Homo-oligomer: A and B are copies of this chain.
Amino acid sequence: MNAGVSIGAHPGFPDLIGFGRRNMEILKDELENYVLYQLGALYAVAKAEKKQLTHVKAHGALYNTACSRVDYAEAIVKAMKSFSRDLILIAPQNFKIAEVAQAEGLKVGFEFFADRNYTSQGTLVPRTHENALLKDINQIARRAVKVIKEGKVESVDGKEIQMNVHTICVHGDTPHAVEIARNLRKSLENEGIAITKLCELI
């Protein structure tokens, strides 16, 4: 925290043995409660350290599904608004959840997944596919620099996708994640791109 790190909630489906990476069919009201529950739990732990939550990013399958499924997007946004209108939603640009959040008055930080391949529709290649994860550290850094500077990313089938980006994700369980993140940060800085807190950016 003294390192300038912001704290955000990462609510997901109640599927611990699947690490929240499998889709579940849940009623909208139930999902809203699950998100509230997780926001509140983290809020309390942060409060004991005299820290605040600044943002929310859905986890795993909930993130992917809420991109296009309106009831899930609405449940997440409703829970966030009930909890605090100052929370920033992290979501990809051009998807339903970002649209719903902005229509409801929440700020949205657009996200890019540095270690994942994209389809030409701008969705992530699912983890069950072979080429879901990128492995070449320098390729990962080059893609990140390009998306920040030009707003463009190449899809898995060679198309160019437009994408505005405020924040970049490297998954903590991607092999060599720390090395990937360090190299990526250095590449951004070498290009003169300053790294700042999300709440100061949007």
Give me the interface of A with B, judged by CB distance under 8 Å. Answer: 14-18, 22-27, 30, 32-33, 36-45, 47-48, 61, 79, 82-83, 128
Q: From A40, which residue of chain B is reached at the shortest CB distance?
A: B44
User: In the complex, given contacts A23-B24, A23-B25, A48-B83, what are 13 additional A-B residue pairs having Cβ atoms less than 8 angstroms apart?
Assistant: A14-B15, A14-B17, A14-B18, A18-B26, A22-B24, A24-B24, A33-B45, A40-B42, A40-B47, A41-B44, A43-B43, A44-B79, A47-B83
Question: Of the candidates B25, B44, B79, which one forms a contact with A43 in the assembled complex, judged by CB atoms under 8 Å apart?
Answer: B44
B-chain residues with CB within 8 Å of residue A128 when the two chains form the complex: 27
CB distance from A197 to the nearest CB of B (A): 23
A interface: dominant SS: helix
Provide the bound-state CA to CA distance between A91 and B191, in Å: 61
CB distance from A129 to the nearest CB of B (A): 13
Contact yes or no, B41 A45, CB < 8 A: no
Question: Of the candidates B14, B16, B41, which one forms a contact with A37 in the assembled complex, judged by CB atoms under 8 Å apart?
Answer: B41
Contact yes or no, A61 B14, CB < 8 A: no
CB distance from A21 to the nearest CB of B (A): 10
Provide the bound-state CA to CA distance between A26 and B22, in Å: 7
Q: From A48, which residue of chain B is reached at the shortest CB distance?
A: B82
Provide the bound-state CA to CA distance between A15 and B43, in Å: 23
Contact yes or no, A43 B45, CB < 8 A: no
Provide the bound-state CA to CA distance between A193 and B32, in Å: 41
Provide the bound-state CA to CA distance between A48 and B75, in Å: 12
